[in-house]
Amino acid sequence: MLYFCLMESNRQKKIAGIIQQDVADVLQRAASEGGLRGVIISVSKVSVTVDLSIAKVYLSIFPNDKANELLEGIKSNTPLIRHELSQRTRHQLRRMPHLDFFIDDSLEYIDGIERSLKGKDNPLDNPDLLSKRKKS
């Protein structure tokens, strides 16, 4: 099993930045050409393994109700996305890392915390709210 290093090297950061920008371009273009109106897909973070073989891509998708459906579509098209990225970065990277896509729910989590602090969703009054945030 490959582990992500706690301190990223400059090379990892550079590759992650290149992948983040290019994946965002590819997904935005695919969304607009695919007729998805009112859907915003952004790449919030990319983490690359030490050996540069795997890139974890975290996506923020708005509206949230379409996130899982779009993520499945993106995962099924990963080979096409990877090919497009390899064409774009052929002079910068020797090998394109394998791409793993995940939903970034940090904004939703922060919103939940803010709602709790404002008293709108009090977990003491409704204990079912605590099970919404599960560790993966």
Instruction: Please give the model's pTM, rounded to 2 decimal places.
Output: 0.75
CA distance 132 to 24: 28
| pLDDT of amino acid 112 | 75
Report all structural domains of the chain as residue ranges with CATH numbers, in order of start: 10-121 (3.30.300.20)
Q: What are φ and ψ of residue 68, in 5° steps?
A: -65, -40
Q: For the chain of 136 residues, list the mean pLDDT of each consecutive stretch of 10.
A: 66 92 91 80 92 93 84 93 92 90 84 74 64 57
Return the pLDDT at 131: 66
pLDDT at 132: 59
What does the pLDDT read at residue 65? 83
Task: Please measure the distance between the N-terminal and C-terminal CA atoms of the chain and give it in whole angstroms.
Answer: 17
Three-state secondary-structure class, residue 112: helix
Tokens of 81: 């996305």
Q: Are 89 and 14 within 8 A, CB to CB?
A: no
